[in-house]
Amino acid sequence: MGITHQLKRSEYIEWNYDAEVYAFGKRLGEQFDNNILREALTDSSYISQERVRQQELGVPEPALTMTSNNELATAGSHIIADYSIKYLRSALPLFPEEGIRSLVDYLTSSEVMAEVGLGIGLKDLILCKEYPPTPETVGKCFQAVVGALNASTSLSQCQLFVRDFVVTQLVGKDLNEIWEIENPMEAMQDILGRSGRGEPEPRLIFESGKNTLEAVYHVGIYSDKEFIGSGYGETIGTAVDQAARDALRRFFQTTAASPPLPFGKENVKLKAEPNLSVEDCLIPSEKPPVRCPWSQQHLALEVPPGPPRLQLQAGIAAEKAPFAGFCLQTRERKQSGRASRVFCLGALWERARRAMSCCARGGESCVV
């Protein structure tokens, strides 16, 4: 069969570039100036190619009236970055400034720009030397389209376009994976210390499969006898690291249960002032104290339940949250000729059922 040639859409007989450019603007629901939009779709490599082709045909000085999209791409890139950072600061007021900038870097990356450009149908409209166009060319062309929309209409209309096509790329993404803290435990210690709260204390909630290849540990982190986060891991160190990340997600309000970004008809007031930085919550002596707002937020935290076999009666986990980090021990006892298991909170000895009843009522006898 050999290598098949990938035909351009413009190589078909019924191709009409003017009609395609006009239909492109109408599909987006925007009012573009036709000449500016054509400039946004013209890459500099296409102009160079046309100049060389005319010189080969004997034209010493080709008279080309086309203009590349370099200036429009630069203007569009600035609009995308400026609006995205102001929008995210307002939508995520507790997310640190480092995380906001990481999200903006992700949104303005060539991969995301190319994905958005291909999604709105720029592949067959771009005038460039190569086909199919490279991701860098598609991304640059999309930025030029944003610049062309700003030049054709208004800045506010262009910002709504950026919100609908660019910022929405964060839907379904884990913001904490795009911006990942290298040392979460150290960052959490700094935040709690600057907020006047106690040091984070990791406690083992339960473990399973110890000394096996399928070991799993569940660690909770407490501050001033208050539960602030938990995590799982195949080792205790991994579980502590995941618990610290979970606590930071709760502080920054970027958990899976957090409200989604406000899109649609909701009016978001852009925020020019930067969010509080994690570096501002460090406690070096040469820096003045900065009060951290994260740990001051009202967090409805609950101690996560253990496996069904290890759940205690009457919800003593909620009443005894400061002491929930102790391991649950089981003791098999025989009564009336039948074996039964009794679960004790933090006990290394066998307790009577009377003691368990006291624990269920919140008695002090269950505190070790």
d(CA 170, CA 151): 27
Quick one: 72 exposed, middle or buried, by C-beta within 10 A (0-12, 13-18, 19+)?
Answer: buried
The least confident of 9-18, 228-237, 323-332 is 323-332
- Phi, psi (degrees; rounded to nearest 5) at 217: -125, 140
Q: Cα dihedral angle (292, 295, 297, 303), rounded to 10 degrees?
A: 170
Sheet hosting strand 216-223, strand order edge to edge: 201-208, 216-223, 226-233
- Indicate yes or no: pTM above 0.85: no
The least confident of 84-88, 254-258, 280-284 is 280-284
Q: What is the CA radius of gyration of the chain?
A: 30
pLDDT higher than threshold 60 for residue 105: yes
CA angle 105, 108, 109 (to 5 degrees): 80
| pLDDT at residue 8, rounded to an integer | 65
Question: How does pLDDT run across 211-241, given as a tens digit for each residue?
Answer: 888 899 999 999 888 899 999 999 999 999 9
Question: How does pLDDT run across 328-363, given as a tens digit for each residue?
Answer: 344 444 444 554 444 444 333 333 343 444 444 444
Task: Report percent pLDDT > 90 for the chain.
Answer: 32
Domains in the chain, please, with CATH? 11-176 (1.10.1520.10), 181-296 (3.30.160.20), 308-366 (no CATH)
- With a CB cutoff of 8 Å and minimum separation 6, the contacts of 264 are none
